[in-house]
Amino acid sequence: MKTWDLITTLILGAAAALPAAAAPGRDAITTAQVAAAISGAGMQTSAQQVTLLTNVVATTNVPELKVQSMERWGDHGMKVRMGCANPEECLPFFVAVRGNGTNTAFSADSDRSSNAIARVKHDPKSFVVRSGTPVTLLIDSDRVHIKLSVVCLENGAPGQTIRVASKDHKQTYMAEVVDGSLLRGRL
C-alpha cells in the first residue's frame, strides 16, 4: 500500500471515529444531508458512502447544500467540495465519497450519475488554462466589480471551477474558467 493511501485511510478512519459535536448555536451537517445534495447534483449517493473529513456545522438546522466541485480520489472514490447555497450558513468543506464496491466510483443507475462523473473528468486537451498560467479574474457582485491579475493553481476547461491565487500567493479564490485568459468569480 502506498504511503499516501495509508495516510488517507488513517485520516478517514480517525474522522469517522470522532463524534460529530456541534458548537453551541450551530447544527451539525449530517452525511444524509450531504448524500442528498450530491444525489441532487446527479450522482446517486447514499449516506453510508459519505465520510465527513471534519465536523461540519451550519447556522441553520437544514441548510441548502450544493456541490462546488468533484474529483476522483483513489481508485473507488471521489473528493467532493461542498458549501451552502447561502454562504452565511456554513463554510465550504470537503467530503470523501466511497464507491459501492464495483469498478466505478458510483452506481450508474441513471444517465444523470454518468453525466456527473463525465463532468468531473476533463480531457487534458480541453484545458484552456494550466496551473501556473497568469490570467485575469473578474469578481462581480451587485455593486462591486473587481479585476485582478491572478495565477492558476489548477488546470481548467471552460465552465469548470478552479482555484487561483493572487500574484503574491497570499489570497486564493475559486473562479469559473471563461476562456484562456479570463476567469469569473463572485463575492
Contact 162, 155 (CB under 8 A): yes
pLDDT in tens, 7-52: 666 565 655 555 545 456 688 999 999 999 988 887 888 999 999 8
Contact 90, 83 (CB under 8 A): yes
Domain that holds residue 112: 3-121
Say if residue 16 is in the same domain as residue 99. Answer: yes
Please name the residues in contact with 141: beta carbons below 8 A apart, sequence gap of 6 or more.
Answer: 186, 187
pLDDT in tens, 51-81: 988 888 999 888 999 988 888 877 778 888 8
Q: CATH number of the domain that 178 lies in?
A: 2.30.30.760
Domain boundary among 100, 121, 142: 121
Say if residue 19 is in the same domain as residue 109. Answer: yes
Say if residue 161 is in the same domain as residue 100. Answer: no
Domain boundary among 121, 152, 175: 121
E strand or H helix that includes residue 173: strand 172-179
Please name the residues in contact with 79: beta carbons below 8 A apart, sequence gap of 6 or more.
Answer: 70, 71, 72, 73, 94, 95, 96, 97
